[in-house]
């Protein structure tokens, strides 16, 4: 694992209400839970891209775990929007056994939501490796190449959609009065229970989280200008 994480125990990125990336020292976690013997047996068996290489796992070096966590609403969006490329049918999500073959697809999607850059505009090689070459270790065939993965956003229309936009305008107006920054306003919004509804409404209009942040920042700046305040 790059030196960036050498002094850290846990690094977490993203929102718990969306896709979250967690990188942590699995060796220390295994020791804390008294499961190091079990995990070492797994690492010795599954530690290398080159099958049959017994020397890859080094017990003197820590093992770092890269973990993706999906909110259940994101999984439902994939279930509603992803299709079998051969039959055109929606993917089967009635059980974990049926869904397991899609974990490679979710892994790639998740890693593309985050960037680890060696320098501006250039991905660190380790990031490309784990994103494109890692495969989920399951006793089922991967359905990665047989599926078109796409998230379906339930559109908020009419009265409910109008409510979302009216709420956001009033929300930002109140924060402008209290001189709250756009960044703090956005994080406050993401911590609210109704954030998934707001996020999905704007996503259906083609606006991702970064776009929504810029939208909120723009409204906040407009309110401050209207009231003659410094930005």
Contact yes or no for 128/176 (Cβ under 8 A): no
Contact yes or no for 190/231 (Cβ under 8 A): no
The confidence score (pLDDT) of residue 2 equals: 47
Contact yes or no for 49/130 (Cβ under 8 A): no
Q: Is the pLDDT of residue 231 over 50?
A: no
- Mean pLDDT, residues 161-165: 82
Q: Is the pLDDT of residue 54 over 50?
A: yes
Non-local CB neighbours of 99 within 8 Å, separated by 6+ positions: 91, 92, 93
The CA distance from 212 to 217, in Å, is 9
Backbone phi, psi, residue 61, to 5°: -115, 140
Comparing C-alpha atoms, which of 113, 33, 29, 42 is closest to residue 71? 113
Q: What is the mean pLDDT of the chain?
A: 83
Q: 55-59, 78-82, 179-183, 203-207: lowest mean pLDDT where?
A: 55-59
Q: Is the pLDDT of residue 55 over 80?
A: no
The confidence score (pLDDT) of residue 18 equals: 85
- Mean pLDDT, residues 18-46: 90
Q: 9-23, 45-59, 192-206: lowest mean pLDDT where?
A: 45-59
pTM over 0.85: no
Give me the residue label for tokens 């929300």: 171
- Mean pLDDT, residues 147-161: 72
């Amino acid at each position: 694992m790059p030196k960036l994480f050498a002094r850290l125990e846990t690094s977490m990125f993203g929102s718990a209400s969306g896709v979250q990336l967690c990188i942590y020292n699995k060796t220390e976690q295994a020791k804390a839970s008294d499961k190091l013997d079990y995990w070492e047996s797994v690492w010795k068996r599954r530690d290398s891209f080159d099958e049959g290489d017994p020397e890859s796992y080094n017990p003197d070096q820590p093992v770092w775990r890269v973990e993706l966590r999906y909110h259940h609403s994101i999984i439902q969006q994939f279930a509603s929007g992803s299709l079998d490329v051969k039959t055109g049918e929606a993917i089967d999500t009635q059980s974990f056994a049926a869904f397991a073959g899609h974990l490679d697809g979710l892994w790639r999607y998740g890693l593309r939501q985050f960037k680890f850059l060696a320098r501006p505009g250039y991905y660190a090689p380790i990031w490309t490796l784990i994103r494109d070459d890692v495969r989920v270790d399951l006793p089922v065939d991967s359905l990665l190449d047989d599926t078109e993965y796409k998230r379906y956003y339930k559109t908020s229309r009419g009265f409910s959609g109008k409510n979302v936009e009216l709420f956001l305008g009033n929300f930002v107006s109140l924060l402008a009065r209290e001189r709250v920054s756009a960044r703090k306003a956005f994080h406050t919004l993401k911590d609210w229970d109704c954030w998934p509804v707001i996020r999905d409404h704007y996503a259906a209009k083609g606006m991702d989280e970064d776009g929504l942040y810029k939208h909120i920042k723009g409204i906040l700046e407009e309110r401050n200008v209207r009231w003659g305040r410094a930005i």
